Amino acid sequence: MNDRHGTRHTVLVVDDTPANITVLGETLRPHYQVRVAISGERALRAVALSPQPDLILLDIMMAGMDGYEVLNTLKANEATRDIPVIFITAMDSVESETQGLALGAVDYITKPLNPDIVLARVRTHIELSQARSRLNDQNAWLEQEVSRRMRENALIQDLSLRALACLAEVRDTETGNHILRTQSFVDLLARHLADHPDYRAALAGERLGMVVKSAPLHDIGKIGIPDSILLKPGRLTPEEFEVMKTHPLIGAQAIARAMERALAGSEEVPGSLTGGAFAFMETAHEIALGHHEKWDGSGYPAGLKGDEIPISARLMALADVFDALISRRIYKAPMAFEEVSRIIVAERGRHFDPVIVDAFLALRPRFAEVARRLADAEPAASTAA
């Protein structure tokens, strides 16, 4: 019999009785490549030769290393553990058969040897072994393909998210690298707090990654703010600021509508969509709606207080304010890092969750590094005509 590459399968015969080797050799050679070993020690050397045998016929009762010892050694070696082994024995007892099968033998052939039975058993187990090998190859390919598709889907999700976030950035020409910086700040804070007893559940497993990935959507609602307000080169009037304060609700409503439409067009049971993309969008909804809420309840749009504010939104609140203060705007120069740090600390327990402020203080050098690495380009100096 041939393998899938057209090469005849190899059978290793291990027996210390010449008459048995002769019978087995005459039976198998018309159909297989046959390799012979007359002891357990020689069998272990023979199995290492190329090509590796596709099946081993192994006598149990041999001088020196018996068949049980040989099988134990084969099974202990990763390179040989999957080679099927059929025991050949003159013993006809349930105990010996049970022992061999427990060690990993695939079958038993009893002496005296019947050539037809030998050929049938060898053929069956080589075919089974080849089928398992093909299945393993297919499973490995499927695992690689699933992994590749998952990486592609994650990349598509990231690119789609980034494109949506950039819609708001394109309309607000002053944001620069704001999206990248705030996402990095949220990442630092979330990882720092992931083992905190009060934050562990909210940042467990995939949840932390969802918080970080959805952070760029925090200002998506600015798409709905008129240019006259969003692009105003100066401070907003109280009336204009009231309009600007609607952007969290606009963004949250847009995300909610997207989820509703996806559910309406899906054949999935709604409850089955609570993970994955929908959990991600729910996190984005939390951040878009709640990132301007304040710990003391004086924020907007809902005036939530303390633990009423989702942790994802609390993380975003500090990251957003910190970045706004260190960044240049038409109506203000960037503040020094130390001055911004003092403002953040002063707002501990008022604007910001106290624990998140403490995390910020522990991470100040890393915040500074992100701010330097992703700093906006300085505006070109105007020249006189």
Name the residue ranges covered by the structural domains of the chain: 10-139, 172-373
Say how many C-beta atoms besides its own lie within 10 A of residue 213's C-beta.
21
CATH fold group of domain 10-139: Rossmann fold (3.40.50)
Query: β-strands 55-59, 107-110: how paired?
Result: unpaired
Q: Which two tokens stand for residue 61?
A: 């009762």
Residues whose CB is less than 8 angstroms from the CB of residue 84 and which lie 6 or more positions away in sequence, other chains included: 54, 55, 56, 106, 125, 126, 128, 129
- Given pLDDT bands bounded at 50, 70 and 90, which one contains residue 372? very high
Q: Which two tokens stand for residue 24?
A: 């087995």
Could you give the CA distance from residue 265 to residue 104 in angstroms, rounded to a whole number? 52
For residues 40-64, give the mean pLDDT: 92
Q: Does domain 172-373 have CATH number 1.10.3210.10?
A: yes
Please spell the DSSP secondary structure of 22-74, one letter per residue. Answer: HHHHHHHTTTSEEEEESSHHHHHHHHTSSSPPSEEEEESS-SSS-HHHHHHHH
pTM above 0.75, yes or no: no
- What pLDDT score does 248 carry? 96
**Which one, of 88, 9, 8, 2, lies nearest residue 43 by Cα?**
88
Residue 245: pLDDT above 90?
Answer: yes
Q: Which amino acid is at 338?
A: E
Contact (CB, 8 A) for 302 and 325 = no
Q: Give per-residue pLDDT as tens, 153-209.
A: 666 666 666 666 666 666 555 555 888 899 999 999 999 999 999 999 999 988 999
Is the Cα dihedral 264, 268, 271, 277 positive or negative? negative
251 vs 248: CA distance, rounded Å: 5
pLDDT for the residue numbered 383: 43
> Backbone dihedral region of 104: left (phi > 0), alpha (psi from -120 to 50 degrees) or beta?
left
**pLDDT of amino acid 274:** 47
pLDDT band at 272 (very low <50, low <70, confident <90, very high): very low
